[in-house]
A and B are shown apart, each in its own frame.
Chain A
């Protein structure tokens, strides 16, 4: 049962990720990225990490992708307004993609695929355990990352204020 769920979720994840890259319409890219995030949340639920799954949906699908969609709608990007790329850009893109391809092939060759099995059911992903770990073992990184977010927010406000002068 969970094997079947895992494989159908994985196929959906990969398909939606491919649509993000290959579709010509930015709107469809954004929407299939949202589908991709949902399928990843499904993977978290299969791993018994409900809290992580729900937070993933709230933060990525709910907040960040709304802003993406917002930008795409405001810019009104279309396939027609897509400028043909210059020769230099094409060569640069080909070199970069080729390098990524070589790296991926190398890393896939060096990994050995073990027997597939889901981890045993545990309640490590429940919110009590996540909270306990965050506020005991990982307190310092947790607080530092929240300060990072705060400074990013203040930075965004400062940048948007500057443009008015």
Chain B
């Protein structure tokens, strides 16, 4: 017997999450330019609509109308596969995120999580680990030295920073005794946010999130002063748009993961003492989660316009010689604390 209500729920939820992810990614580009403008004492985009709020629509339209160029020596199939794969993996992670408390329509419960996997956090690591393929395939298929260098940088950076990221997640798993993302979030109810118990783990995870998203100060795969455009040098039109768009989706998803793992997800202190009906509590919890997400998206942009780019050897040294030993120490310390003190 197939539960049609369940399928309908999930279809609605998937479509809503998809649209919201794309809208937030589009408006992050606007936010990025406005924040850069504030930091550099400029005005930023202000031509399209009041305060330039239609700028992302104009940018998106421009991407569609630009000429789509495929280099002669490129591998045609892989050249298209690269950006498609990159944006697909960027959108895949949102499936396991608990976006808020459940809605209730009479007897029917509408859960705000697409898939409640009991290995949820490992699914996250799996998607992160295959996320580099889009860049690698795209950079290689372009048949361009700069693109290849960018792709090599991206993949080695992603492999290196996956290790401390996984270790930071291990210390969270030790704290919560569960791999299920909803259980990890619910454990932080009240003000028991993991960031207070795992400050070192949070710092490591944050740095790795920057590196995995290829964001400044770790944007070496596309550092325009050395590699023209890095892995997307040969791309134009909407294929380039996909690469740039996926970067913003990745940033949105990483902010969500940071909020869920370390800042209590959709919980905030005192949410239960307000005495709200379940549906209102659900709406409030969604708003709380998005407030946390927007803060971290802002933080990503703030860092980009404040810090200079790392050199490649500095990046590798930080990953292998600083973050990995620190994260191993963090796992051991967490284990010792849980065994002997608690």
Contact = CB atoms under 8 A, between A and B. Distances in A.
Interface string B149-170: 0011001101100100000000
B331 to A, nearest CB: 14
B130 A57 contact: yes
Interface stretch (A6-14, A47-55, A91-99, A140-148): A47-55
Kindly state the interface size class of chain A when it binds its partner. 20 to 34
A19 interface: no
Interface stretch (B3-11, B98-106, B115-123, B192-200): B115-123
- In this complex, the interface size class of chain B, counting residues with CB under 8 Å from chain A, is 20 to 34
Contacts of A27: 75, 78, 140
A62 B158 CA distance: 10
A66 B136 contact: yes
Contacts of A57: 126, 129-130
A127 B136 contact: no
A126 B75 CA distance: 42
Q: Interface on chain A toward B: helix, strand, loop, or mixed SS?
A: helix
B132 interface: yes
Given A69-B136, A73-B148, A55 B122 contact: yes
B54 interface: no
A69 B122 contact: no
Interface in A63-106: 63, 66-67, 69-70, 73-74
Contacts of A73: 136, 140, 148, 151-152
Nearest to B156: A70
Interface string A131-160: 000000000000000000000000000000
Contacts of A126: 118
B156 A62 contact: no
Contacts of B126: 54, 57-58, 61-62
B302 interface: no
Interface of A: 27, 31, 34, 50-51, 54-55, 57-58, 61-63, 66-67, 69-70, 73-74, 126-127
19 contacts: A31-B78, A31-B137, A51-B119, A54-B125, A57-B129, A58-B122, A61-B126, A61-B130, A62-B162, A66-B129, A66-B132, A66-B136, A66-B155, A66-B158, A70-B152, A73-B136, A73-B152, A74-B152, A127-B118
